[in-house]
Amino acid sequence: MSEQHQIYQHWSAAGLWHRLADATCIVLGLLISIHRGLVASTDRYVIVAALATIVFYLLAEMAQMYRSWRGVSLHREALGALACWSFTLMTLLALGFLTKHTAQFSRISTVTWFVVTPALMIASRIATRAAQRTLLAWGYNTRTFAIVGVNPLGFQLARNIKESPEMGLVLTGFFDDRPSQRNPQIPPDLGRHVGTIQDLVDRAKAGEIDRVYIVFPMRAEARIRGVLKQLADTTASVYIVPDFFVFELLHSRWTDVLGLPVVSVFDTPLYGVDGLVKRACDIVFGGALLLAAALPMAAIAAGVKLTSPGPAFFRQRRYGLDGREIRVWKFRTMTVCEDGPKAVQAVKNDPRVTRFGGILRRTSLDELPQLFNVLDGSMSLVGPRPHPHALNEEFRTQIGGYMLRHKVKPGITGLAQVNGWRGETDAPEKMRKRIEFDHRYIREWSLLLDLQILAKTALVVISRKNAY
């Protein structure tokens, strides 16, 4: 039986610090709120603090809040903490209503606790990052590193580390046995070619290099094994940087299967805390929009019924998350309700569109009922627009990677739509451009991008371009 090798993840000191800091923030926030609310008995608050800490920890672990945040912006880490605390509050409130204990707590103390705790969590993260930067500036906890291989992947690695000073890594240089004339030119701001692999080994043995990153292409297995064999006689930490950029990556990430490391090539960006944040925003903003649009929607439904025979609403089969079938709500704008094996797209001056339906389509008001899809979780406010089944089946065989747009929930609006690719797709090139923007949205997703798309959507609706 062959020996089984595994790769393990370990708890970092920073992760342990944040776990302790979050628990301290929860308790300290509660103490401040009790003092503000002038509470006489604190026994029940101790139980609530313990329960809140446990729930927060469970949510934070599921959302991977205690992974390394090196190289990740502070606002994303802060949003993660806010999302976990928000879901903790919802859990505590639900338990309070179910057990009928909410009346036993001071409202002033409760509201104060709900507000002060996340502020303390964010402050602790700001202070931690400031302390790390100060220590690194003083020369504490810095490490030297070398890059084996002079190629674009090595340049990208050096640039990423340079833009992440909190990692505390100082570049010694690039090492490669190939002569300089056979290698691409190293950008002057990233370093220089300082020697061969043997030079690297000698310097590592002398304790001058703490980390080594090997950036040879994946096909160069023999070269990688040779370097590893030589570095095994040193105490340097060695990392292999796989050249996955040869693939068309769609939000790739590392994971493991019982210790066996795997990397995703096509994956969703909405896992862990990011998924919780996006879903919370859909519920909050989608619910608010539905409340604001309730009376106009009732008037539109009446207008559809009064101006043409047929139902006010139309539900059409579309592909949703992971290609699962969903039923998308719309106001009926045509004299027909087509949902068959052949897709007949609406065109300019389409005779099937009713007069009232034309107004709805030009103003995009026919899409308002999709807020119901947002609240039931089958759609999001922002994402790739869902296509009819027949249209999907037609283009999935013509456009490479077409189905990858279903790695996230479809949206009422999307990046393609606010960049001019909405309306009829009467040519494959139009659909290719739409898919290109859908893929870009998945690769670059962030909450800020969603907010920008929502803001631009208002301008697109006003312009009424390609809406018919």
The string of pLDDT tens digits covering residues 316-347 is 888 898 888 899 999 988 877 666 556 566 65
Neighbours of 221 (CB within 10 A): 10
Whether the pLDDT of residue 372 is over 90: the answer is: yes
Residue 195 class from Cβ within 10 Å (0-12 exposed, 13-18 middle, 19+ buried)? middle
Q: Single out the residue in 137, 167, 198 at which a domain terminates.
A: 137
347 and 389 assigned to the same domain: yes
388 and 442 assigned to the same domain: yes
335 and 208 assigned to the same domain: no
Rounded CA-CA distance 412/285 in Å is 13
Tell me how far the alpha carbon of residue 281 is from its chain's centroid. Answer: 13
Structure confidence by residue, pLDDT tens digits, 270-291: 877 778 888 988 998 999 999 9
94 and 132 assigned to the same domain: yes
159 and 126 assigned to the same domain: no
Higher pLDDT, 260 or 404: 404
Does residue 103 lie in a domain region? yes
**Residues spanned by the domain of 102:** 13-137
Residue 2 has a pLDDT of 42
Q: Span 65-83, mean pLDDT?
A: 77
Neighbours of 284 (CB within 10 A): 11
C-alpha to C-alpha distances, 414 to 63, 271, 284, 424, 434, nearest whole angstrom: 25, 19, 19, 15, 10
379 and 452 assigned to the same domain: yes
161 and 18 assigned to the same domain: no
Question: Which residue reads 């023999």 in tokens?
Answer: 222
Structure confidence by residue, pLDDT tens digits, 21-53: 999 999 898 888 877 655 545 667 778 888 889
Which residue, among 246, 250, 253, has the nearest Cα to 403 in the 3D structure? 250
207 and 287 assigned to the same domain: no
Residue 309 has a pLDDT of 87
Does residue 30 lie in a domain region? yes
Higher pLDDT, 37 or 304: 304
Does residue 419 lie in a domain region? yes
Residue 298 has a pLDDT of 93
Neighbours of 46 (CB within 10 A): 11
Q: Single out the residue in 121, 137, 153 at which a domain terminates.
A: 137
pLDDT tier at 1, thresholds 50, 70, 90: very low
Whether the pLDDT of residue 300 is over 90: the answer is: yes
231, 212 contact by CB (below 8 A): yes
- Domain total for the chain? 3
Tell me how far the alpha carbon of residue 27 is from its chain's centroid. Answer: 30
Which residue, among 441, 391, 448, has the nearest Cα to 416 in the 3D structure? 441
Question: Which residue reads 């960006």 in tokens?
Answer: 269
Does residue 5 lie in a domain region? no
pLDDT tier at 62, thresholds 50, 70, 90: confident
Q: Which amino acid is at 351?
A: P
| DSSP symbols for 146-194 | EEE--SHHHHHHHHHHHT-GGG-EEEEEEE-SS-GGGSPPPPTTT--EE
310 and 433 assigned to the same domain: yes
Whether the pLDDT of residue 171 is over 50: the answer is: yes
Rounded CA-CA distance 307/332 in Å is 11
Q: Single out the residue in 116, 137, 158 at which a domain terminates.
A: 137
Does residue 267 lie in a domain region? no
346 and 449 assigned to the same domain: yes
Whether the pLDDT of residue 4 is over 50: the answer is: no
Does residue 278 lie in a domain region? yes
Residue 151 has a pLDDT of 92
Rounded CA-CA distance 357/364 in Å is 10
Q: Span 254-265, mean pLDDT?
A: 68
Q: Which two tokens stand for residue 66?
A: 């205690």
**What's the helix, strand, coil split of the chain in %, to 5?**
55, 10, 35
Does residue 377 lie in a domain region? yes
Residue 8 has a pLDDT of 47
323 and 345 assigned to the same domain: yes
| DSSP symbols for 326-389 | EEEEEE--BS----SSS-----TT-TTB-HHHHHHHHHTGGGTTHHHHHHHTS-EEESPPPPBH
Neighbours of 325 (CB within 10 A): 10
Q: Which two tokens stand for residue 431?
A: 């659909």
Structure confidence by residue, pLDDT tens digits, 192-206: 999 999 999 999 999
Residues 6+ apart with CB under 8 A from 130: none
195 and 225 assigned to the same domain: yes
CATH number of residue 194's parent domain? 3.40.50.720
Residue 174 has a pLDDT of 96
Does residue 1 lie in a domain region? no
